[in-house]
């Protein structure tokens, strides 16, 4: 088994919003809950259910959105 590790050059605290666009390489979720997002801001949203606290979701957002509608997770950080 090969392990790979990503490094990030920056981070941004995220307030979920149905209108704010965001660029990042991954999302850190500190507080357990659902994360609703649109990867490019135009496609239909997807909801990651019951993401555990401390999880990193390796999702690349290109002008995407972490939506307020449907997101119950807390203390979300975008990793760049």
What pairs with residue 66 in β-bridges?
37
pLDDT at 14 over 90: yes
Residue ranges per domain, the chain?
Answer: 11-79
Average pLDDT on 42-57 reads 95
CA atoms within 13 A on the CB side of 25: 9
**Is 32 within 8 Å of 53 (Cβ atoms)?**
yes
By CB neighbour count within 10 A (0-12 exposed, 13-18 middle, 19+ buried), where does 10 fall? exposed
Could you read off the pLDDT of 16-34 as tens digits, one per residue?
Answer: 999 999 999 999 999 999 9
pTM over 0.85: yes
| CATH of the domain spanning 11-79 | 2.60.120
Measured distance CA(54)–CA(46) in Å, rounded: 20
**Average of per-residue pLDDT across 52-68:** 96
């Amino acid at each position: 088994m090969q392990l790979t590790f990503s490094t990030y050059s920056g981070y941004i605290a995220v307030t979920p919003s149905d209108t704010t666009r965001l660029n990042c390489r991954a999302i850190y979720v500190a507080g357990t809950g659902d994360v609703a997002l649109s990867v490019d801001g135009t496609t239909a949203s997807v909801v990651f259910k019951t993401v555990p606290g401390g999880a990193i979701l390796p999702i690349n957002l290109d002008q995407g959105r972490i939506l307020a509608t449907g997101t119950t997770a807390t203390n979300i950080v975008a990793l760049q």
